[in-house]
Structure 1
Amino acid sequence: MHKDNHRERLHTSVAHDPYDARHHGSIHIPIYQTSLFSFDTYERFTQAHANEQQRHVYSRGNNPTVRYLEDKLAELEGAEMSKCFASGMAAISSTILSNVKAGDHVVCIDQAYGPTRHFLQHYVARFQVETTFVDGRSIEAIETALRPNTKLLYLESPSTMLFQLQDLAACAALARSRGIVTVIDGTWATPVFQRPLALGIDLVVHSITKYISGQSDSMGGVVSGSKELVGRIAEGEYMMLGGIMTAHTAAQVERGLRTLPLRLERHERSGLKVAEHLLRQPYVLRVNHPGLPSHPQHELATRQMDGTSGLFSFESAESHETMRAWADRLRYFKIGVSWGGFESLVSANPTSEDHGVPGARSLVRLHIGLESPDDLIRDLDEAWAQTSASEASAAAGRSGQ
């Protein structure tokens, strides 16, 4: 399907639901704020309990409001089944645990989300699961790291600090030839701009907290894929670990989901405009944005994604202290973690060497929100002018002493 046609169909998918007589034609599915569901006969209770993932017995297993969101996300992802969790890390950790056991080996890209790397390197290592971290840009490096006991290949494309990509079709083909399950964190691109399952990936996880919700008021995660793999997670780690999404949260996320394609089109346009502006600034050495022709994997990005979102980073030769002082002067960019909401954010990372950036450089990550990109660009320029003037004044003072 042509990219533009796919985008238009997504607008219909998120905005339209068939008439639902069960809920009196309500535009939104009601919030089923209940812990359990009762039955008029014991026989019906027994039948429901035997298939709890499809029937409503107890909201820790299946809630109608949450189930609606799961079905909607599965439709967008092109998946047979989705399961929503209380956070992105709940979805990620449950998905990993479902696919490994003592004695197994995992290959993970070295630029994966920090808590994911920690979970693999330290937490599951307590249970004799070993992980090798590799440069995900190289399919050769991934293949070299595989072992006879490798059971899981964990990807994140693009990664969310340096925005490096993996060739998803090549990774999926390699893993499938060895009987290895592939998992990707697709939070950055969302199902609007990237559909990993269509490229052969087995499971896709997202932090719903980010773009899918889009309002910076909800925490959640989701895993999507085949009924076999997601069903195993649902019956196992989802039920046992209890990291469930509540009905109220699902209703909040559903509200944000209605505008996901529309919001991402704005994030994409504004993000590219700001990134292109930064390319010309004297304090910027490199802009890490896969939508820019200067990105070393731009061709791969255009081949396996339908668009780009509003999160990117840049590298600067200025000190961490200087970039933090610059961030303090920004008016429209709030300082904070996370991303994907309506607001613009800045994070001047003091540990850029942990992400493959030379220690002499600063790494700054920006999330471009829904504000006017012209206002954001003006804000960036004015903050830098003030910072430069302040540093020049301080240097003059030191030289005059």
Structure 2
Amino acid sequence: MTDDSIDTFLAQPFGGGEGSVTPPIYQSSLFTFDDFSAFEARMSGQGNRTLYSRVQNPTQDAFEQMMAKLEGGEAAVGFASGMAAISSVLFAFLKPGDRLACVEHVYPDAYRLMERMLGPWGVEVTYHSVTELQDNPDTLKGAALAYLESPNSMMMQVMDLRKVADHAKAHGCLTVVDNSWATPVFQTPLALGIDIVLHSASKYICGHSDTVAGVVVASDEHIARIRDLTLPLLGGKLAPFEAWLLVRGLRTLPARMREHQRTADLFVDRLGARPEVVTVNSPGPNSVPGLKGRSGLMSIEFTKDIDVRKFADALNLFHYGVSWGGFESLIVPTAITLAQAGPKNSLQAFGVPDTMVRISLGLEDAEALWSDFESALVTAGS
């Protein structure tokens, strides 16, 4: 979809019979039938009438239909969290003895899922650099599934998804990509040949930091497998109220993404001139084929002259927080994540430097955010 068509599509009223511009919230656990024949037909798999909200709900349907349209997929399925979406996809399409090829610097909890559950279950997990996945046609030879992020977590490295998809198809390997950073406003991986797209819908899709959810978009065939196997049996279903909030979030997604991009462009331009900054990890439009924009999530590596703790504590408009994609600006120093208790995470596994911070630029005034950031830099370097 073009930018204009995305805006037009998302602005359309729901059209559900009473002139409502938003879908109603069907806050019901089950849906009844009037006679034996109708109930029997539905239970035998005839038709798609709503049966039980663990697997289907009309409010959820509205959100899923919107996401499928935006990503250019045939169908979508919503989940209670991004991790529910990730685990449901991986357990639907992998079996013991398979190899999962994963991009390095993957989301830490996805890494833990692979290491703590898929590995012991009998799935071989191998990790590969963006360059290796993109430029070596045989990296995916023998792999059942490639799990990708573009950009990946913290390091924000992007890949040519079409090249990776072509390599995967040559070896009969299914491709899955997390598109939470770019959203369908800035990137549509299915159009580049990727098989399955997923999102932590808690991030930009929601945009208001009040919902935890996930969503998967793919072909009818792939979504049918998820609906038949992992959605009902793992039970990570999306609730009606959360689905309604996500429809609300989608209405403003293009406008919010453009505003995030304007602020990110300002930061990237000004950070590049700062002597305290080693590198800014924030891929821009056209840095790889198919990427049309820059979101507000980036990472910044400082020189040793900056006391990261002092810098972060000096910020007033940026708050400490683990998520991103909302209206508020957030910061996560990697030193905190590297010190996280419990099983090793992907930042520890792949050697992310402790002089780096991840920031999520919200919807506050861009100049006010920059003034706060610059003032904290001065404080931390003194």
Q: Shorter-normalised TM-score: what interval?
A: over 0.9
CA–CA distance in 2 between the matches of 1:309 and 1:52?
Answer: 43
> Which of residues 27, 33, 38 is equivalent to 1:39?
33
The Cα shift of 1:137 comes to: 2.6
Q: Hey, what does 1:109 align to over in structure 2?
A: 103
Does residue 311 (structure 1) correspond to residue 311 (structure 2)? The answer is no
1:58-87 alpha-carbon deviations (Å, 9 max, x no partner): 101110000110001001010000000000
CA–CA distance in 2 between the matches of 1:312 and 1:134?
Answer: 21
Does residue 336 (structure 1) correspond to residue 321 (structure 2)? The answer is yes
Query: Superposition pairs for residues 58-97 of structure 1, below 5 Å?
Result: 58-97=52-91
Give the aligned length: 372
Q: Alignment partner of 1:371: what SS?
A: coil
The Cα shift of 1:44 comes to: 0.8
> Which of residues 163, 185, 190 is equivalent to 1:197?
190
> Which of residues 137, 145, 165 is equivalent to 2:158?
165
The Cα shift of 1:305 comes to: 0.9
Q: Is the 8 A contact 2:318 2:331 kept in 1?
A: yes
Q: Hey, what does 2:12 align to over in structure 1?
A: 16
Q: Report the residue type matching 2:8 in the other structure.
A: T
> Which of residues 122, 132, 139 is equivalent to 2:126?
132
CA–CA distance in 2 between the matches of 1:27 and 1:34?
Answer: 21
Q: Report the residue type matching 2:240 in the other structure.
A: A
Closer, same or farther in 2 for the Cα pair 1:386/1:206, shift >3 Å? same
The Cα shift of 1:308 comes to: 1.2
Q: Alignment partner of 1:382: what SS?
A: helix
Q: Hey, what does 2:330 align to over in structure 1?
A: 345
Q: Report the residue type matching 1:309 in the other structure.
A: S
CA–CA distance in 2 between the matches of 1:53 and 1:260?
Answer: 33
- Unmatched segments (≥5 aa) in structure 1: 292-297, 390-401
> Which of residues 257, 262, 283 is equivalent to 1:290?
283
> Which of residues 151, 175, 178 is equivalent to 1:182?
175
Q: Hey, what does 1:154 align to over in structure 2?
A: 147
Q: Alignment partner of 2:163: what SS?
A: helix
CA–CA distance in 2 between the matches of 1:151 and 1:253?
Answer: 32
CA–CA distance in 2 between the matches of 1:337 and 1:51?
Answer: 42
Does residue 372 (structure 1) correspond to residue 368 (structure 2)? The answer is no
The Cα shift of 1:18 comes to: 5.6
Closer, same or farther in 2 for the Cα pair 1:313/1:261, shift >3 Å? same
CA–CA distance in 1 between the matches of 2:236 and 2:134?
Answer: 36
Q: CA RMSD in A?
A: 1.8
Structure 2 length-normalised TM:
0.93
Does residue 268 (structure 1) correspond to residue 261 (structure 2)? The answer is yes
Q: Hey, what does 2:204 align to over in structure 1?
A: 211
Q: Is the 8 A contact 1:100 1:151 kept in 2?
A: yes
Question: Percent of aligned pairs with the same residue?
Answer: 39
Query: Superposition pairs for residues 229-268 of structure 1, below 5 Å?
Result: 229-268=222-261
Higher deviation after alignment, 202-211 or 11-20: 11-20
Q: Report the residue type matching 1:75 in the other structure.
A: K
Does residue 50 (structure 1) correspond to residue 36 (structure 2)? The answer is no
Higher deviation after alignment, 47-56 or 31-40: 47-56
Q: Is the 8 A contact 1:153 1:183 kept in 2?
A: yes
Does residue 325 (structure 1) correspond to residue 310 (structure 2)? The answer is yes
CA–CA distance in 2 between the matches of 1:373 and 1:157?
Answer: 25
Q: Is the 8 A contact 2:133 2:139 kept in 1?
A: no
- Unmatched segments (≥5 aa) in structure 2: 339-346
> Which of residues 28, 31, 37 is equivalent to 2:22?
28
The Cα shift of 1:173 comes to: 0.9
CA–CA distance in 2 between the matches of 1:262 and 1:117?
Answer: 32
Higher CA-based Rg: 1
Structure 1 length-normalised TM:
0.89
Q: Is the 8 A contact 1:53 1:235 kept in 2?
A: no
- Larger RCO: Structure 1 or Structure 2 (Cα < 8 Å, ≥ 6 residues apart)? 2
The Cα shift of 1:37 comes to: 0.4
Q: Is the 8 A contact 1:206 1:223 kept in 2?
A: yes
Q: Is the 8 A contact 1:313 1:363 kept in 2?
A: yes
The Cα shift of 1:11 comes to: 0.7
> Which of residues 3, 9, 20 is equivalent to 1:7?
3
The Cα shift of 1:115 comes to: 1.0
Q: Is the 8 A contact 2:138 2:167 kept in 1?
A: no
Q: Report the residue type matching 2:49 in the other structure.
A: R
Higher deviation after alignment, 177-186 or 115-124: 115-124
Q: Alignment partner of 2:199: what SS?
A: strand
Q: Is the 8 A contact 1:135 1:141 kept in 2?
A: no
Q: Alignment partner of 2:39: what SS?
A: helix
Q: Is the 8 A contact 2:140 2:173 kept in 1?
A: no
Q: Is the 8 A contact 2:276 2:305 kept in 1?
A: no
Q: Is the 8 A contact 2:134 2:160 kept in 1?
A: no
The Cα shift of 1:300 comes to: 3.7
Q: Alignment partner of 1:191: what SS?
A: helix
Closer, same or farther in 2 for the Cα pair 1:300/1:380, shift >3 Å? closer
Q: Is the 8 A contact 1:271 1:310 kept in 2?
A: yes
Larger helix proportion of the pair = 1
CA–CA distance in 1 between the matches of 2:48 and 2:216?
Answer: 17
Q: Hey, what does 1:394 align to over in structure 2?
A: none
